[in-house]
Amino acid sequence: GEHREGSFVCSACGYVAWSNPVPGAQAVIERDGRVLLGRRRYDPWAGLWDLPGGFLDEHEHPLEALDRELAEETGLSVHPTEFLGVWMQPYDGRNVLCLTWLATPTSGGERPGDDLVELRWFGPNELPADDELAFETYVEILSLWRARHEHA
C-alpha cells in the first residue's frame, strides 16, 4: 500500500481508505447543579475521569448514539438540552470528532456499565484536577460548564 496525503491506497486493488476523523457523541449530564463523570475501566487512560459517550455506528444518528452510549455506560435515559459544541480529540492514533451535548437525566438509576467502573456527581468546585481527566478537551468543556454555574 501507499500512504498519500489524507489517504492510504492499496497497491493490490487500488482501494482508497480516507483518513477522516471518527465521529463520537458525548454528554455533560447535569442534575441539581452537578455533572456526572465516569472512571474509565480500560486503557487508554484507565482510572481517569471521562464524560459518558462513545462512537457512532455507521448508520446511526448522533443523538441515537448518545442515547445508546449513555444507557450502556450510566444506566440513565437523558434529554439533551443544548448542543454545546464540537471538539477534536486525538485518540489511539486517530482524531475523534466529539459532538458534545448538555443533557439532564429523565429516567433510570445511575450505575456504571460497559467501559466505566465508577460514576460520581461533581459540583462546580469539586471537579477532578486536569491531570485526572482522560482527555485534554475535557478541561475546556468542564471549564465552560463550571463558568455557567458560577454565573447562574
Residues marked as catalytic? 118
Using CA atoms, how far residue 40 sits from 4, 114, 129, in Å, is 35, 10, 15
Q: Are 98 and 26 in contact (CB under 8 A)?
A: yes
Query: How far is it, in rounded angstroms, from Cα 108 to Cα 99?
Result: 23
Grid coordinates of 78: 437523558
Residue ranges in 16-136 assigned as alpha helix (H): 62-74
